[in-house]
Amino acid sequence: VQEHAASLASDGLLSVHDAVAQRDFEPTLPPVPDDVLEEDEDSVKIVSLVKTKEPLGATIKRDKTTGAIVVARIMRGGAADKSGLIHEGDELKEVNGISLEHRKPKEILPLLVSFICLPQPSSHWMFLFRSLFVRALFDYDPNEDPTVPCKDAAVSFKRGDVLQIVSMKDDTWWQACHLADSSNRAGLIPSQQLHESPVTIQPLFLSAGLRRSFRLGRKSSRAREAARSRRWSAGVHGSLRPPTYIEVIPYRRDSKDRPRLVVLVGPSGVGVNELKRRLLISDPDRYGVTVPHTTREKRRQENEGMDYHFVSIHMFEEDILNHRFIEYGRFRGHYYGTSLDSVHRVMAEGKVCILDVHPSKIKHVYTSEFKPYVVFVKPPRIEELRLTRRRAKFISDEEDTNPEEDFEDMIELAETMENQYGHLFDKVIVNGDVALAFRELKAELEKIEETEVQWIPSTPSTSDTEFLSYFKYCSICKQVL
């Protein structure tokens, strides 16, 4: 048996040697058909691509005016692109010796191994593109999209994933690389819709977040009722349709950099203040909160600049006009507001500023100066919500803090917030067991102090343009260069 195996092996070796010597491992190209050469065309290319597991990385379409089959797109980094032989607009004449006349594109694709094509005269569509990164604001699965030109050529992604855009030439289908995909191959993604994000008009009056920021005591049922109506008014005026992508830029923290701003958002009663309180107690040198402005009288036990900045109505209104507030409103005839300056003050102390606002206000701090890290505090499922809050009430002996209807409202409002503003959230923390939620939040905030690459919003100011051109992100080594 051994002898027979050895003879088979040597036969095999010899036939490989013969094949290599004759160079017959290369595919045989079909001859150029005469009629192709007779046509009045500039040149003809015979392209041979050896099919591997890797997709071809090209799509084809029928030209509506000429009826010819042409290369519609070449995916960056795909086999067709790497060959450098095929370009967008090239006309396909034959595939594997089979004429393409009267054939539909979908009959042709499986045949694409070697083909003859007439080059498009100026097909230099691969223009140099500065690195543009976007965060996807929705989940996309090409298998569930009947409009995608070619499912295999498309990239699937989840909300929050970062994509590098490599071509925006086509109005409807862009090309992008998924940063989490090590192959670095570009594919099709749906382009940003022109009609996205209608203009948002914000109410001038107190929103749920603002009320929370100034909440000093427990809510009476009347206050709860009022809060409920205000919550809805904040929701109604929020942005109606979230955008599809947000431009982001890579950021690698330097030890000299100011800490990023941390924004906590969530439906009223979910535990935003509780988590903030625990953070402050856990490390008062590291975390800080803003001091709000108010036009109400100072009470005896209060200190200017510690409890509030007490200002006149005139000053407050001037600051409103000068867009100095992230959030403001009126409560019992007095103005209350959180100013941008108060955030600067905390950051200037080198502390992580924990801001607690309604999600509709995030846009005021969504800049590369603040580099906000937005955490959405979400209620758990109703059973867990009931259990954890009742247990806490039992321990603290609080009266009627969280009746059943509040739980339902909270869950409903959380859903509304997530639908409207979810694209702005960097992290969602479910506040079931408060100790676990706090631990998760703390770990998350420690992570953003580290030096690994983070993706932050890009804002179109002069300094940002410099910032953008300064950074280059290598999606292979996952480094900012």
Query: What is the contact surface with ligand ATP in residues (CB under 6 A)?
Result: 212, 215, 266, 268-274, 388-389, 392, 401, 431, 434, 437
- Which of residues 3 and 397 has its CB atom nearest to ligand ATP in the complex? 397
Q: DSSP letter at 125?
A: -
Nearer to ligand ATP by Cβ, of 388 and 458: the residue is 388
Nearest CA-CA partner of 344 in 376, 367, 313 = 367
CB of 159 to ligand ATP, least distance (A): 24
CA separation for the pair 260, 122 (Å, rounded): 47
Nearer to ligand ATP, 366 or 407 (CB): 407
Give the burial string for 202-214 (b: 16+ CB within 10 Å, else e). beeebbbbbbbbb
Give the count of beta carbons closer than 10 Å to the beta carbon of residue 322: 8
Nearer to ligand ATP, 69 or 210 (CB): 210
**Residues, the chain:** 481
Q: How far apart are CA 356 and CA 208, in angstroms?
A: 11
Minimum gap (Å) between residue 382 Cβ and ligand ATP: 14
Closest contact distance (angstroms) between CB of 171 and ligand ATP is 43
CB of 441 to ligand ATP, least distance (A): 12
| Closest distance to ligand ATP from the beta carbon of 275 (Å) | 7
Q: What is the C-alpha separation between 420 and 234, in angstroms, rounded? A: 11
Residue 273 CB, shortest distance to ligand ATP, in Å, is 3
Report the alpha-carbon distance of residue 49 to residue 58 in Å, rounded. Answer: 12
* Comparison of 58 and 385: residue with beta carbon closer to ligand ATP: 385
Shortest Cβ 402–ligand ATP spacing (Å): 6
HSE toward the beta carbon, residue 394, CA cutoff 13 A: 6
Looking at beta carbons only, is 138 or 331 nearer to ligand ATP?
Answer: 331
Looking at the Cβ atoms of 181 and 384, the one nearer to ligand ATP is: 384
Nearer residue to ligand ATP within complex by CB, 87 or 224 = 224
Q: How far is the CB of 214 from ligand ATP (least distance, A)?
A: 9
The smaller minimum CB distance to ligand ATP, of residues 338 and 458, is found at: 338
CB of 211 vs ligand ATP, minimal distance in Å: 6
Q: Which two tokens stand for residue 366?
A: 């969504």
Torsion-angle region of residue 250: left (phi > 0), alpha (psi -120 to 50) or beta? beta
Residues 365, 426: Cα–Cα separation, whole Å: 14
Smallest gap, in angstroms, from Cβ of residue 212 to ligand ATP?
Answer: 3
- Calculate ∠ Cα 182-186-187, nearest 5°: 120
Q: What angle do CA 233, 236, 242 make, to 5 degrees?
A: 140
Structure tokens at 27: 């595919």
For ligand ATP, which is the closer residue by CB, 94 or 356? 356
User: Which residue shows structure tokens 């970062």?
Assistant: 162
Burial track 441-476 (b if 16+ CB lie within 10 A, e otherwise): bbeebeebeeeebbbbbbeeeeebeebbeebebebe
